Structure 1
Amino acid sequence: MTSRITNRRGVLIALVVAVLAALAVLALTFGGGPGSDTAQPPPAQPVAVVPAPQAGGQDAAAALPKSEPVSIDIPKIGAHSSLVPLGLNPDNTVQVPPVTTPLQAGWYTYAPTPGETGPAVVLGHVDGNHQKGIFFRLKELAPGDRVSIARKDGTTVVFEVTKVHQVPKKDFEAEGVYDDTAGPELRLITCGGVFDRNAHNYVDNIVVYARLVQA
């Protein structure tokens, strides 16, 4: 695998592959995967990535200045969590929320912050440590559902879900999850689908797309 990618879309694809692979393997290590309590696979091998640049857009009037998110609230699925920053490890791999606390969600610091123009990114476990994760019910969201994110500047931004897609990981590149957007948007990502015990990974990703409707 190459360790440096110059194409922006390639950077973002590498990011999600690295993060979701880490989430799935950690879930297996600590949670055993569906139907198992004892599986202990080898740890994931490091996957090199590089930070994604800030996205640009045309709809500046709808966007807010940069401000770190501090918590997320999704009433439809009973998901409430503080948000920890997810950057890069010293070996240049992407950090993930602690699998020992699977109800913890995190935001990727090299993407736009929620409310800025572009796709903000929040990641969470589907399960881990023998527990359901913060995004265990993410696939239940539907267009029109609301996601609220409180920001450090005291504002709360509200996003409306536009699409929920379960996509095979092998087709993720064509999904366009991290493509530039004209206005502020949000992506919620976790693992999903069937758990492949041979590959030690979920075969699909659950991706929620949402757009800013209130700031």
Structure 2
Amino acid sequence: MSPTGPPEAAPGQPAAEKSTAGRRPRWGVLALAGLIGIGMVRQGVSGEADGPPQPGAGSALFPGDLPPGGPAPPPLPRSAPARVAIPSIAVSAPLIPLGLGKDGWIEAPPADAPRLAGWYAHAPTPGENGTAVIVGHVDTRSGPAVFYGLGALEKGRTIRVTREDGRTAVFEVYGIQVFDKRKFPARKVYGPTGRPELRVLTCGGAYEAGSGYAGNVVVFARMTESG
């Protein structure tokens, strides 16, 4: 859904900016083509007067930042993720696969299931070599949703993704930042790093009635172990 559409706190994420030929590139070239961020819209009726927490300056990435050093564990084979857990912010949510809508944007998790998150099924799965992507609502008409607290996450915290093959990919957070959705740094967010990575996204930044959130909260994490 477009961020200028109906106010439903749902992801609206174009697959990629249009190429010079006027066609949208496939996911495999996203790192080069660019990608606009999720355009979620806050309802403003969640009962949380100050809105969702936002990342502090100390959590941000800076130009040239790379994942922390150290050997990466071997990548896992492809397997659909079943559940994501972020213990430090009390998240434990089932995951559903998301594709693209007719408008070329990633489909939203169901609005009537605010504790559900989704993963982009045409990207690497969590644990594979490459950048996996998980998205979720920040709030809905009924109140805070699954990733309401994402902006409060801190560097060094753990994200665990349980996969359908029974294995668990464990990721360490190394950056949390809000990006203006009009200037979304696709190469920085989605570009490959040569190891299994994870991005978790929801909306964030300033909120204005009618236009919604101005930005996207993006969590950067690298796989540190698997079981």
TM-score by structure 2 length? 0.72
Q: How does 1:1-215 map to 2 (within 5 A)?
A: 2=18, 4-6=23-25, 8-9=30-31, 11-14=33-36, 16=37, 20-21=38-39, 23-24=40-41, 27-28=42-43, 32=45, 62-173=74-185, 176-199=188-211, 201-215=212-226
The structure with the greater share of residues assigned to helix is: 1
Tell me the CA shift for residue 8 of structure 1: 3.0
- 92-101 or 79-88, which deviates more: 92-101
Runs of 5+ unmatched residues, structure 1 = 37-58
How many residues align? The count is 183
Off by >6 Å, runs of 4+ in structure 1 = 33-36
1:129 Cα deviation from its structure 2 partner: 2.5
**Contact 1:79-1:134 at 8 Å conserved across structures:** yes
Check the 8 A contact 1:160/1:212 in 2, yes or no.
yes
| Partner residue, 2:65 | none
Taking structure 1 as the reference length, what is the TM-score of the superposition?
0.76
Q: Is the 8 A contact 1:102 1:129 kept in 2?
A: no
The Cα of 1:179 is off from its aligned counterpart by 0.6
CA shift digits 1:28-64 (9 cap, x unpaired) = 3xx657779xxxxxxxxxxxxxxxxxxxxxx996201
Identical residues among aligned pairs (%): 37
In structure 2, distance between residues paired with 1:188 and 1:175: 15
Alpha-carbon distance in structure 1 between the residues aligned to 2:129 and 2:100: 22
Q: Distance in 2 between matches of 1:8 and 1:157?
A: 23
Q: Secondary structure at the match of 2:105?
A: coil
Structure 1 residue 137 displacement after superposition: 0.4
- Structure 2 residue runs of 5 or longer lacking an equivalent are 1-16, 50-70
Secondary structure in 2 matching 1:112: coil
**Deviation of residue 143 (structure 1)?**
1.1
Moved more, 128-137 or 164-173: 164-173
User: Aligned Cα RMSD in Å?
Assistant: 2.5
**Counterpart code for 2:190:** Y
Q: Residues 5 and 203 (structure 1 numbering): CA distance in 2 closer, same or farther, change over 3 Å?
A: same
Q: Which has the higher contact order (CA 8 A, sep 6+)?
A: 2
Letter in structure 2 aligned against 1:8? L
User: Structure 1 residue 93: deviation in Å?
Assistant: 3.4
The 3 A distance-change label for structure 1 pair 143 and 88 is: same
Q: Which amino acid aligns with 2:30?
A: R
Q: Deviations over 1:54-96 (max 9, x none)?
A: xxxxx99620100000001110000110001101234543211
Which AA in structure 1 matches 2:207? F
